[in-house]
Every structure is written in structure tokens, then in C-alpha cells.
């Protein structure tokens, strides 16, 4: 699913991040560990095609990302990758349903209300579909953010610090949600975190602090 070989990313002009080789098979659940500044987020963004490596090979879900041009890369991302961000970043002025609809629209997927209802239902927030994102509680926003990431049935689900700022119970729940949804959609899951509470849920770990 993910194949990284001799990958390097250049911040600005001279600061270069070199990444260890890394292979992820389809369906695996991985934890990317390391203190802040170790390049977890950069690795995640590289894998999602949001930034481009300076050198090395990067193959994700069967595509050589270095060979895709801008537009094709954006389309590929919309269709293949679901991303849950640390601060969730729902579009506050839109309804919950529209937050999922826009994910379908931007990924060039058909706008399918039945799919949206089903996805929200699986995450226990079906009754919030008409509410504005700004009106939701923290827990509900977490669920909607995961719903938005999986509504297009991505092959790869990425989460960046999903448990930061959460108490133990909420953090456990958030990880539970991600594992459950990855399972449900047959997606490969990669979680980047420095949160040690998450470790016990994952057998495979990539430690960037080394």
C-alpha cells in the first residue's frame, strides 16, 4: 500500500528531512511515532500527496506519486485517501451533511445522500445531519470528521494526532473509531502521534525519533 525508499523532503532551501525506508501492506494498521518536529506530519503529507519529495521513491496505493501532475494528484487524493486532522477542521458554517457532501463533490464522487446517512449512522451521529458543524460537541465533531474521511471509502485512512487535547476516555474512543472504520471499509490505517496512550492498540510502529 505504501512504499517509501530513500525519501527526502526539503523545507525551504537547506533543511532536509531524510526518511527511513518503509513498507506498508494493504489492510495493516500502523502507528508513526516520534516527538514533535521529528517529521511525522511531513511524512503523512508526503503520503497524502499534499507535498512533493525532493528525492527518493514514493508509491502509494499502486501510484508513483512523483509521476502524477498536480491535477491528477488532487484527484487521486480525493478518491484514495481519507484524512483526519488534529483540529478536525470541519467547515463550520456548513451542515454536517454538507460537510460530507463536499467531500464527495471535491473528490468527483457522485453526491449520494444514502451513503452519507449510512456513514453518519455507522458513527452514531445520523441525527446530527442537519446541524451546523459549529453547533456540535467535541465528541460529535470527532465522529463527523472521521465520517468525512471515510465517506468516499478510501483505501488509505490517515490520522494526524487524533488524540491530542483529548482526555483518556475520549482518546480511547477516537482510536476505537478509527480502527473500527478502517476495518469496516477495508482501509489501511496510518496514525501519526506522540501520544503513548495509543500504542497498545497498534502492533506495527514506525519510530521517527531514532
Partner 1 sequence: MNLATLSAGYLRARPLNTALSLLLLALGVGTIVLLVLVVSQLEERMHRDARGIDLVVGAKGSPMQLILSGIYHVDAPTGNIPLAAAQALAGHRLVKRAIPLALGDGWKGFRIVGAGHEYLEHYGAKPVVGRLWVKSMEVVLGAEVAARTGVGVGARFAGSHGISGQGEEHGAAPYDVVGVLGRTGSVLDRLVLTGIESVWQVHEEEHGPQDAQDSKGLEEDREVTVLLLQYASPLAAATLPRQINSKSELQAASPAYETARLFRIVGVGVEALRAFAIVLIIAAGLSVFIALYTALEERRYDLAVMRTLGASPGRLFGLLLMEGLVLAVLGTLIGLVLGHAFASGLGAWLEAQRQYPVTGLEWRAQELWLGAVALAVGVLAALLPAWRAYRTDVSRTLAQG
Which residues have a Cβ under 8 Å from the Cβ of 98 and sit 6 or more positions away? Answer: 91
Binding of residue 112 to partner 1 (CB under 8 A) = no
Applying CB under 8 A, does 107 fall inside the site for partner 1? yes
Query: Distance between CA 138 and CA 129 in Å, rounded?
Result: 15
Residue partners of 202: CB distance under 8 A and separation at least 6: 29, 30, 31, 191
CB of 95 to partner 1, least distance (A): 9
Residue 9 contacts residue 182 (beta carbons within 8 Å): no
* Angle subtended at Cα 194 by Cα 189 and Cα 200, rounded to the nearest 5 degrees: 60
| Of residues 57 and 74, the one with the C-beta less far from partner 1 | 74
Name residues contacting partner 1, limited to 36-95 (CB under 8 A): 41-42, 45, 48, 50-51, 70-71, 74-75, 77-79, 81, 83, 85-87, 89, 91, 93-94
Contact positions vs partner 1 (CB under 8 A): 41-42, 45, 48, 50-51, 70-71, 74-75, 77-79, 81, 83, 85-87, 89, 91, 93-94, 98, 101-108, 111, 148, 160
Amino acid at each position: 500500500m505504501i512504499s517509501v525508499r530513500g525519501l527526502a523532503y526539503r523545507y525551504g532551501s537547506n533543511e532536509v528531512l531524510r526518511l527511513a525506508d518503509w513498507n506498508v501492506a494493504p489492510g495493516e494498521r500502523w502507528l508513526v511515532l516520534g516527538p514533535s518536529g521529528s517529521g511525522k506530519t511531513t511524512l503523512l503529507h508526503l503520503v497524502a500527496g499534499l507535498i512533493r519529495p525532493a528525492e527518493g521513491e514514493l508509491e502509494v496505493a499502486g501510484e508513483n506519486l512523483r509521476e502524477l501532475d498536480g491535477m491528477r494528484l488532487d484527484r487521486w487524493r480525493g478518491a484514495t485517501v481519507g484524512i483526519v486532522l488534529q483540529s478536525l477542521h470541519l467547515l463550520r458554517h456548513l451542515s454536517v451533511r454538507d460537510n460530507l457532501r463536499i467531500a464527495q463533490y471535491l473528490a468527483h464522487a457522485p453526491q449520494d445522500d444514502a451513503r452519507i446517512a449510512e456513514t453518519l449512522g455507522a458513527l452514531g451521529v445520523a441525527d446530527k445531519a442537519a446541524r451546523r458543524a459549529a453547533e456540535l460537541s467535541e465528541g460529535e465533531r470527532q465522529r463527523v470528521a472521521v465520517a468525512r474521511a471515510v465517506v468516499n471509502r478510501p483505501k488509505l485512512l490517515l490520522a494526524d494526532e487524533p488524540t491530542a487535547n483529548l482526555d483518556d476516555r475520549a482518546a480511547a474512543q477516537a482510536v476505537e473509531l478509527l480502527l473500527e472504520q478502517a476495518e469496516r471499509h477495508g482501509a489501511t490505517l496510518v496514525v501519526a502521534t506522540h501520544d503513548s496512550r495509543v500504542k497498545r492498540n497498534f502492533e506495527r510502529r514506525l519510530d521517527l525519533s531514532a
